[in-house]
Amino acid sequence: MTRLLSWLGACLAFLALSFTSATQAQSSASFSHGVAFNGSQATLWFKSQVATTWVDAHYQLGGGAQQNLRMPYNSGAGRHELALPGAVAGTRVDYWFTYNNGDPAYDSARFTATVGAGGTDPGTPQNPGTPGNGADWNTLTTFKVENATNGRWTDGQIYWAIIGKSWQTGEFVHVDAAGQLLPMRLADNTVPKNGRLYANYFFPLSQTRQITIPPINSARLLMSVGSPMYIEVNTDGAGRIAYAGANIENASDPNLDVVFDFGEFAIVPKGQPDQGIFVNTTRVDHFGFPLKLRLQGLGGYDRTVGEPLTESRDTLFTRFQQEVPVEFRSLAEPNFPAVPPRTRILAPAHFSFRPGEVNGAYLDGYISEMWNRFKTQDLVFTLENLGTFRGRVDGSTQRFVFTGGAANGTYYINGQPTTAEVFLGAGKLDDPRKPDGSFQVDTPADAAKSIQLQIQAQVCAALNRHVLATPADWYRPAAFYPAGTRGNWYAKFWHDHSIKGTEGAANGHGLAYGFAYDDVGGFSPSLHTNAPTTVTYTIGW
């Protein structure tokens, strides 16, 4: 890719200059953004004021299906840009961004623009000043942990902690019982286990049931029962403070015999276009105990996701082993010799479905079947706003070659993926390269890199759900995981046992995050409001 930068920089600089006549933008402490139009081509752009190296655009044209694409960097213009195929003058564009600021990533607020015309100011929420749009938010959010373990664990046996990064300093911090964000220090390692010392950041629920905190970056709320978790403050290669969290694949990790779970969130400071909270539950790594998440905010915002807590933890373990195929049942059994039974249910890619393990080739037959099928027939599918694509596997290289779309481009999956690559959304399914090893590049005329990664994500999700052969079923939950087939039955289980969604294709379908691209189609339990007041995690048992 480096070999192409100087040439592309010159070309894109010229193209960027031609797009300035109808640009809508909003500056902030972290970024500016807008939709540019030169009379024939619309381009969505994002200019960062912080340490951003990548940006994902999420957009809808004229109320169509949402597209999620990586934005290429235009070095000449000093910003990330993405061509919007099919967007003509007068088209409404609803969009938002996911971007990094150093290590952590953030979701922006939602914006609206009209191609080639005035439209809604993309940096101004609609109905400014009304409750719920963030104008009256006091920047504080109260976190609560509730004990719904039905007497199995007393409040004195439930532990929790909040860790993250300071917006002001970028340092790792922990939160004390008064809600202060305190820098992590090596001296915090005072809790012994197995001859090592770990950070003293956890407090029992009997001591603290709720904490009110200011904005915090890249945070986790960690919860455990019977024992606090063991995280170790250390330093990275540059001598900066860091920490080592739980590693459920490490046979010597001190947390293996601790039953724990966690939620992920970030609270973005008031005044930034993406202010407010982004919070979720996840089953991508494992299941520790039933966990329900409720988010409340100004203006009546009130949503709940996660497990509904209508099934006990033991029931979920039992039903998991009853409902999944035999290959998956070991995920709910002791994973290491010293780990008690029913400590956790591991995600496939973290245990027996790894390369070289007993189920490491579990999906290989299905993947091969699909690759062989599409050596002699086309895989034809349409991605809203990107056009219709045709894919065919090259029998000599096993490379899946896709052509077409609005840009009439060529895109690749560079070989047949493995079981682990499908479950992880990695390797050949997260690969922007062309057959010669060079990287696809996004230009205003053809967002080739982003489209290739988008196609790979779609194929990955369809393989997990066992619907690749029928694109009409790619976003139809009733068709996912046909009986008697091979797919990610771990993920299906959590969708079947989670609170149901109410919007779009996920309406009536359980929202869960069971594998890397489980958000394809809008099926993840991620919540956002720009004026949060209360976050409640309820632990079931």
> What is the third-level CATH fold of 2-114?
Immunoglobulin-like (2.60.40)
**pTM listed for this prediction:** 0.76
With CA atoms as reference, report the closest residue to 448 among 415, 414, 409. Answer: 409
d(CA 483, CA 492): 12
Q: Which CATH class is domain 364-485?
A: alpha beta
Q: 77-96 pLDDT, tens per residue?
A: 889 999 998 888 889 999 98
d(CA 78, CA 237): 30
d(CA 71, CA 449): 8
pLDDT band at 21 (very low <50, low <70, confident <90, very high): very low
d(CA 107, CA 268): 9
Stretch among 119-128, 235-244, 427-436, 498-507 having the lowest mean pLDDT: 119-128
pLDDT at position 470: 97
d(CA 161, CA 159): 7
- Return the higher-pLDDT residue of 130 and 499: 499
Taking residues 501-507, report their average pLDDT: 88
Stretch among 18-22, 403-407, 512-516 having the lowest mean pLDDT: 18-22
pLDDT at position 39: 85
d(CA 123, CA 392): 43
Q: 112-129 pLDDT, tens per residue?
A: 899 986 433 333 333 333
- Return the higher-pLDDT residue of 518 and 428: 428
> Phi then psi for 155, rounded to 5 degrees?
-60, -30
Q: Which two tokens stand for residue 76?
A: 């000449």
364-485 and 141-346+496-540 share a CATH fold: no
- Residues above pLDDT 70, as percent of the chain: 91
pLDDT at position 7: 22
Average per-residue pLDDT for the chain: 89
What does each C-alpha distance from 37 to 56, 81, 113 come to in angstroms? Answer: 20, 12, 11
B/e letters for 21-59, b = 16+ CB within 10 Å, e = fewer, are ebebbeebebbbbbbbbbeebbbbbbbbeeebeebbbbb
Stretch among 45-49, 171-175, 202-206, 226-230 having the lowest mean pLDDT: 45-49
What does each C-alpha distance from 363 to 219, 283, 479 come to in angstroms? Answer: 34, 20, 18
Judged by DSSP in three states, 143 sits in strand
> Phi then psi for 104, rounded to 5 degrees?
-75, 160
- Return the higher-pLDDT residue of 14 and 518: 518
Candidates 3.20.20.150, 3.40.190.10, 2.60.110.10, 3.65.10.10; correct CATH number of 141-346+496-540?
Answer: 2.60.110.10
d(CA 471, CA 451): 17
The DSSP string of 23-88 is: ------SSEEEEEEE-SS-EEEEEEESSS-S-EEEEEEETT---EEEEEPEETTTTEEEEE-TT--
Q: 192-228 pLDDT, tens per residue?
A: 999 999 999 999 999 999 999 999 999 999 999 999 9
d(CA 466, CA 482): 7
In the chain, where are the structural domains located? 2-114, 141-346+496-540, 364-485
pLDDT at position 17: 25
